Amino acid sequence: MSEAVGKRPSLIVWIVSDGKPGHVNQSRGLAEALVRAIPAEIHTRRTLPAWRAWLALLLKRVPDNTPHRPDLIIGAGHATHLTLLALQRAHGGRSVVLMKPSLPRRCFDLCIVPEHDGVATDARTLVTAGALNRIQPAATRGAGHGLILIGGTSPHFDWDSDTIQVQIKGILARTPDIEWTLTTSRRTPADFLAQLPSSPKLTVIPHTATSPDWIPEQLARSSTVWVTPDSASMVFEALTAGAEVGVFDLPVNPKSRVGRAIAQLADAQRITRFAYWCAHDKLHPNLHPLAEADRCAAWILDWLKKKTNG
C-alpha cells in the first residue's frame, strides 16, 4: 500500500477508526480505492476520547510519529468526527467524512453520504448508493454456490424468525442444484440456528466462527446471495460483488430510511424480493455491479487536483 521507505507516496491517507467493523469497512473501502487509483500510503489512527479530542482541537496538538503529514483524513461514524477535525487542525490535510455527520457539513472539506440519509449533492458532498465497502467484483464465480446472510432485530424491519425460516426452506426446496452457505450476525436471535432445517445442501457458519475476510471471500465465489432486508450494508456488498441478490420479506417500518432504500433497489430491479422470486422463479440479473468506492476515489482526486491547480 505504499512506495519504497523514505520516498513520499503521491498521497498520504489517515483513517480515523472508532473500532466498529462496519465503520472501518467503509473507510478502508475508500482508502483502498484511492490506492488502486494512485500511489498512496494508509495509516490508521484511533478515535480519541471526546474530552481529549476537544482539548487537542483547542491546542492544535495531536502527537504523531509518522514521517509524512496527511493529504486526506477519513472518518466514518459520529465518534470519529472530533478526532478527525483535531488531526486536521494539528497536521493539515483535507477532511473526508463518511455518512451524514453529526456536526455541520461545512466543518469538513468533503462529505460522502449514502442516499438514504437524505442529503443533497453539492460541490463538496457526494451521494452514494449505500455505504462504501471493500468488496471487489469477482472475475469468475461458481454458479452452484449461494450465500445466505441473516441479520436480526433492528428498528427498520419487524424481525420474525419463523417467517425467515419458512423462506429459507422455500429457497432450499426450489434450488436443488445450489450448495448454500449461511451465516448470521450479532443481531441474530440466539435460538435462530437451532430452528434451521437440516439439509445436505446447507452449510451453517455462525458469525462467531468467521474472520473479517470470510464474507468477502464468500461473496467472491457466490453467484446468488440472499439477505435479510435489515442487513442493508450486506445488500450493497452483494451488489458490489456482482452477485444476483434476493432479499427476504419482512414487515417494514414505514418511517425507516433503510426500508425506503431497499424499496428503491427493488423498484429499480437491482434486487429481487422473495415474493417476486416465488411468483416468477428468477432473480433480477446484476448487470452493472456497484463500484461506489472507486467512484468516490475518482471524485476526491479530481477535487484535489482542482484545488491544487486553482
Model confidence at 131, pLDDT cuts 50, 70, 90, reads very high
Model confidence at 6, pLDDT cuts 50, 70, 90, reads low
Percent of the chain with pLDDT over 70: 97
Q: Is 113 helix (H, G, I), strand (E, B) or coil?
A: strand
The verdict on residue 285 lying in a domain is no
The verdict on residue 286 lying in a domain is no
- CATH number of the domain where residue 130 is located: 3.40.50.2300
pLDDT of residue 9: 72
Mean pLDDT for the chain overall: 92
Residue with cell 500500500: 1
Q: Is residue 281 over pLDDT 90?
A: yes
276, 297: one domain: no
149, 262: one domain: yes
120, 201: one domain: no
79, 20: one domain: yes
Give me 33's grid cell.
480505492
146, 268: one domain: yes
What average pLDDT does this structure show over 168-192?
Answer: 96
93, 50: one domain: yes
150, 123: one domain: no
Q: Nearest to residue 28, comparing CAs of 218, 211, 258, 297?
A: 297
The verdict on residue 124 lying in a domain is yes
Write the CB contacts of 54 (distance below 8 Å, at least 6 apart in sequence): 82, 86
pLDDT of residue 310: 66
Q: Is residue 5 over pLDDT 80?
A: no
Please list the helix, strand and coil fractions of the chain in percent, rounded to the nearest 5, in that order.
Answer: 40, 20, 40
pTM of the model: 0.89
The verdict on residue 1 lying in a domain is no
pLDDT of residue 1: 43
pLDDT of residue 116: 87
**What are the tens digits of pLDDT across the range 154-175?**
999 999 999 999 999 999 999 9
273, 149: one domain: yes
Give me 301's grid cell.
482526486
What average pLDDT does this structure show over 204-214?
Answer: 93
pLDDT of residue 142: 74
150, 273: one domain: yes
pLDDT of residue 141: 74
96, 219: one domain: no
The β-bridge partners of 205 are: 183
The verdict on residue 273 lying in a domain is yes
Cα–Cα distance, 284 to 267 (Å, whole number): 11
What average pLDDT does this structure show over 281-302?
Answer: 96
The residue range of the domain holding 112 is: 11-134+292-309
Q: Is 70 helix (H, G, I), strand (E, B) or coil?
A: coil
pLDDT of residue 4: 40
pLDDT of residue 2: 42
Q: How many domains, in total, are found in the chain?
A: 2
pLDDT of residue 133: 95
Q: Using the Cα atoms of residue 210, residue 213, residue 216 and residue 217 in order, give the sign of their dihedral.
A: negative
The verdict on residue 231 lying in a domain is yes
Lowest model confidence (mean pLDDT) among 19-23, 181-185, 260-264: 19-23
- CATH number of the domain where residue 149 is located: 3.40.50.2000
154, 178: one domain: yes
What average pLDDT does this structure show over 193-200?
Answer: 93
**244 in Cβ contact with 146 (< 8 Å):** no
The verdict on residue 287 lying in a domain is no
The verdict on residue 102 lying in a domain is yes
Q: Is 218 helix (H, G, I), strand (E, B) or coil?
A: helix
Model confidence at 3, pLDDT cuts 50, 70, 90, reads very low
What average pLDDT does this structure show over 246-267?
Answer: 95
pLDDT of residue 64: 78
101, 128: one domain: yes
